[in-house]
Amino acid sequence: MCGRYAASFSPDDLVDDFEIDLDATDEPARSILKNPQEPPAGTPDWNMAPTKQAPVVLTRAPREDRDGDPVRQLRLLTWGLVPSWAKDVKVGLRMINARAETLLTKGAFVKAAHTRRAIVPAEGWYEWQASPTVTDAKGKPRKQPFFVKRQDGRPCAFAGVYEFWRDRSLADDDPDAWLTTYAIVTTAAEPGLDRIHDRQPLVLDPDRWAHWLDPEVTDTDEIAGMLEGMPPGRFEAYPVTTAVSSGRNNGARLLDPAPESDLRGVVDPATGELIGG
């Protein structure tokens, strides 16, 4: 799964990297958080968690011109997909990820997969490895966080899907009447990364971005083809400190490698060797 990631690029960087035509991250968007988001939505966040708003790339006709040509946009969406038929936004907490294997058949995602695909920009993602040899104070396998990023230094482009949810308790002209949410598509972890966790985000290379974002591509077989064939070996992974395990912590320091002296019962994803007993 993917439950935390680093959305640490500024909107200006994302506009350049993802060839954005319309940066709408400064437009008001409904949040489901009770307290103000920290760091503020749209600013670099090294510990992006579900229910937060994050920059997402999508291609749609602008609101003021629904009949115009689709435009590649950058918008703030809430992480945790809420289907249009949901009675409560809390359902999104169970839908932060969408498995590639069932994306085109599962009721909560099938419509979005056909017409509302997105790209979620990230510097990389965090995953927790369960130790095969060391337990914690509760007797459960000790979990070591890792950070995974592209080896070539490019931003990760997670495949995603998004959905609109209408709050029927609010008037049509209420700016909070609509909530826009997203889920990250995951797939089986590639060799090496599977020593950390058995799942990973589906990361699209730049030559696949336009095809994935094209809302006119609705054929099931064509979409299924975009979910396959990603080359292995694009990533590097290294242990980081357990500070990332708390959503209260943030900042670039979360990406610093953990000292080897702090590692206990950790499996090196590249070699399979055990570090720290």
Q: What are phi and psi of 226, to 5 degrees?
A: -75, -15
Q: Would strands 156-166 and 22-23 be described as parallel, antiparallel, or unpaired?
A: unpaired
- Residue 2 annotated in active site: yes
Query: Which residue among 2, 123, 156, 163 is the active-site one?
Result: 2
* Six token digits for residue 223: 């979409």
Answer yes or no: are the C-beta atoms of 181 and 92 closer than 8 Å.
yes
- Residue 228 annotated in active site: no
Query: Which residue among 27, 123, 127, 260 is the active-site one?
Result: 127
Answer yes or no: are the C-beta atoms of 39 and 7 closer than 8 Å.
no
C-alpha separations of 6 from 16, 252, 260 in Å:
18, 9, 22
Q: What is the DSSP string of the chain?
A: ---EEEE-S-HHHHHHHTT-SEE-TTS------SS--SSPTTS-EEEE-TTSEEEEEEEE--GGGTTS--EEEEEEEEES---TT-SSGGGGGG-SEEETTTTTTSTTTHHHHHH-EEEEEESEEEEEEEEEEEE-TTSSEEEEEEEEEETTSPPEEEEEEEEEEE-TTS-TT-TTSEEEEEEEEEEEPPTTGGGT-SEEE-BPPGGGHHHHH-TT---HHHHHHHTS-PPS--EEEEEB-GGGGSTT--SGGGGSBPPGGG--SEEPTTT--EE--
Catalytic machinery residues: 2, 127
